[in-house]
Structure 1
Amino acid sequence: MKFVVSSATLLSHLQAISRVINSKNTLPILDCFLLELDGNVLTITAADNETRLETKVEVNSSEGAGSLAVNSKNLLDPLRELPDQPLTFDVNDETLEVFIYYHNGKYNFVGLKGDEYPKPKELKDSAIVLNIPAETLFNGINRTVFATADDELRPVMNGIYFDITADDLTFVASDGHKLVRVIHKDVKGDGRSSFILPKKPANLLRTLLPKESGTVELKFDENNAYITMSNFVMICRFVEGRYPNYNSVIPQNNPNHVTLDRLALLNALKRVSVFSNPASSLVKLQLSEDKIVVSAQDIDFLTSAEEVIPCQYNGSVMNIGFKAVFLIDMLNNIPSADVKIELSDPSRAGIILPAENEENEDMLTLLMPMMLND
């Protein structure tokens, strides 16, 4: 088979799907891209054992049809150094030797048989279809993926939980210390269904979705999903197991309410946390009527810092401790100028909310406190 394709177009599609390929694979063929030519359309696939990503490129001219697997480095590394120009791929169907001709040179290597590449899992007839606006899916993943765990003992915590009802779609992520729940009212299922999307495909979607517009089709059964975008199709396996009841850990009666500028608190935490004990990253928030005192200290090195931030506070005077890196993560991911913090007492989780939610979106974050010594 033979075809001509723009080097810049090919490179952008290869780079987008190459993130699926693991640095170490049990199957050597998973180090490869699968190229399949049919008419003037070249389908390129990259995969690992759990996730598969396909994209289509229109070629300028073609002869023949077929498939072969090509080592990803052999394609990607030289293409990165080439200026945009037509590339001619000439593949010997018998020996699988590939010649790539460009403006003032050529290179060649030998591919592998395309039919040895793993096939995608088929969905069951009972598969459910859900259409989600690309922006909604991006926001749900982007606001929650940072809170997923890396826990070999509890793999269900290592992904984003999609909770679908006839009223809304809820994205949840938690590592046991922090939890994020984002409810989207603009997506409704036909009934109750749910799945856990692993962290790797979630991060891949996070890079692909900003370039998408319109809706994304999510078709899934108990074990796998086909996620169809305008330029890409992702096939991934879910994390198996039951997700914990996330609503039961959200404290309901929180009489102490703070409203303050998100960036003021975020920047104060970044400065003050430098002086916290590196092992614990503990910062103390001292809450009183019109101000929060943010403080940290490292007794071993006799360093300390404190800053005062104005706020509106309704509640009793309270000292509460949090892990600074977690609190900074949360504030970085809340899309609002002001935040509300709701607290019951220093031993119970604090709830951090955007003062104003985005349209059709309801976001809640929760952070477990740390014990203060004094």
Structure 2
Amino acid sequence: MKFVISSSALLSLLQTTGKVISNKNTLPILDYFLLELKDGELKVTASDLETTLVGTIKVESVEKEGLIAAPAKLMLDSLKEFSEQPLTIEANESTWEIKVSWKSGSLALPGTSGLSYPAIPELNEEKKEFTFEVETLQNGVGKTIFATADDELRPVMNGIYINMDAEGFTFVATDAHKLVKYTDESQTGGVTASFILPKKPANLLRAVLPKEDEPIRVAFDAKNVMFRLKSHMLICRLIEGNYPNYNAVIPAANPNKVIVDRVELLNAIKRVAVCSNQATNLIKLDIASSVINLTAQDLDFSVSANESLPCNYDGEAITIGFKSTFLVEILSNIETPSVLVELADSTRAGVFKPVYDDKQTSTTLMLLMPMMINA
């Protein structure tokens, strides 16, 4: 194998695909990139057995095609030190040595045979196929991923639940404390189906989607899902199991409604939370007429803080407690200047919604369970 390629283009491709590689691989070959040169294209594959990411790039000139596994860490560490310049990469298929040459020098890395690299999973004939608009997938993953859990006992909550039907797409994530539901009615997949996408491939998608401008083709069966992008292909094992009935925990009637400046509320929570109990991070909200009063205290260290904010409130006076770190996460993941908070009472979940100036084809609902306030 011998070809010429731009150093920065190769580094960018390896950095993206390299995010799949785990620190604790069960097979030594998984610490390598699989490089395959064919038809003027370099295909780079990285895998952790659960998730596989394949990236492709056009190369400038090909002298000889081939297949080799290259050590991931050594490749990345060496390429980071190059300014933009053409590199000649040559692999000896008898000694498996990889030689990288440039204008003023060269380096040699120990490769290995790529024949033992795990094969990409094949989808069965009963697979379902549809397309995602880039914006739909980007928003769906981006707005929900922070609410996924890390729960070994309930693995279904460690991913994003994606549902398709005639009404559109729904993305849901929850960790039992907070829940996010994002619905997009601007497109339908043409199929009625659902699957649970694990957190790691969801994060990989979020990293590569900003560079995409064409619809993403998706195919999945009972075990795996495949996303085909312009220059990448992501295949991952799905989380098996039934997702909890999330609609059952969303309060239907919330008579108390608050509209408040999101950034002002977010900053006030951050200031007051400095004095909250380090174990609970409890912050208390007293809401009445047109004022939200935020209070936090830590009796162990005799510290306390409070701040008042103007708001637009419709409802009876209410006092409710939330974990400040969760409040910050939720408010940071809403993009509108104002936020609508719907409350029933101090024991039921608060519902947070962005306030839009115009009609939207997508809706975001975020739910946060309250904390008990000690009298």
Q: What is the aligned length?
A: 374
**Mapped partners of 1:358, 1:103: distance in 2:** 58
Per-residue deviation, residues 142-194 of structure 1 (Å, max 9, x unmatched): 10000000001001000000011111100000000000000011231334210
- The amino acid across from 1:146 in the alignment is F
The one-letter amino acid paired with 1:362 is: T
Amino acid at match of 1:284: K
Q: Name which of structure 1's ranges 175-184 and 55-64 shifts more when overlaid on structure 2.
A: 55-64
CA contact (8 A) 2:133 2:215 kept: yes
Name 2:365's counterpart in structure 1: 364
Give the alignment of 1:261-340 within 5 angstroms: 261-340=261-340
What's the secondary structure of 2:24's corresponding residue?
A: coil
Q: Secondary structure at the match of 1:301?
A: coil
| Contact kept in structure 2, 1:135 and 1:213, CA below 8 Å | no
Establish whether residue 146 from structure 1 lines up as the match of residue 132 from structure 2: no
2:251 pairs with 1:256: no
Distance in 2, matches of 1:98 and 1:271, equals 54
Q: Return the alpha-carbon distance in structure 2 between the equivalents of residues 8 and 128 of structure 1.
A: 37
Mapped partners of 1:165, 1:312: distance in 2: 36
1:225–1:237 CA contact under 8 A, matched in 2: yes
Q: CA deviation at 1:109?
A: 2.4
Mapped to 2, the partners of 1:192 and 1:133 lie a distance apart of 17
Aligned to 2:41: 41
Q: TM-score, normalised by structure 2?
A: 0.98
State which drifts further: 85-94 or 75-84: 85-94
Secondary structure of the residue aligned to 1:78 is helix
String of CA shifts for 1:69-122, please: whole Å, max 9, x gaps.
010022111110011111111222222222111111111123111111000110
User: Secondary structure of 2:271's match?
Assistant: helix
Please give the residue correspondences for 1:14-29 in structure 2 after superposition, counting only pairs within 5 Å: 14-29=14-29
Identical pairs, percent:
48
Task: Give the partner amino acid of 2:178.
Answer: K
Q: Distance in 2 between matches of 1:150 and 1:2?
A: 44
* Paired letter, 1:298: D
Query: Distance in 2 between the 1:294 and 1:61 partners?
Result: 64
Whether 1:166 aligns to 2:160 is: no
Contact 1:172 1:179 in 2 (8 A): yes
2:72 corresponds in structure 1 to: 72
Question: Is 1:349 the counterpart of 2:349 in the alignment?
Answer: yes
Using the alignment, how far apart are the partners of 1:57 and 1:105 within structure 2?
24
In structure 1, the partner of 2:98 is: 98
Which has the larger displacement, 358-367 or 10-19? 358-367
Deviation of residue 217 (structure 1)? 0.9
Q: CA deviation at 1:358?
A: 7.5
Match of 1:221 in 2: 221
Gaps of 5+ in 1: none
Match of 2:182 in 1: 182
Q: Distance in 2 between matches of 1:36 and 1:305?
A: 60
CA spacing shift, 1:284–1:201, aligned 2, 3 Å: same
Match of 2:85 in 1: 85
Moved over 4 A (4+): none
Corresponding letter in the other structure for 2:274: V
- Encode CA deviations 1:267-292: one digit per residue, 9 max, x unaligned: 00000000000100000000101110
CA contact (8 A) 1:343 1:350 kept: yes
- Give CA deviations for 1:202-224 in whole Å, capped at 9, x if unaligned: 11111111111121111111111
Following superposition of structure 1 onto structure 2, how do residues 106-145 of structure 1 map, counting pairs within 5 Å?
106-145=106-145
TM-score (norm 1): 0.98
Equivalent residues of 1:167, 1:189 under 8 A apart? no
Which amino acid in the other structure matches residue 174 of structure 2?
S
Structure 2: which 5+ runs fail to align?
A: none
Counterpart amino acid of residue 341 in structure 1: V
RMSD: 1.1
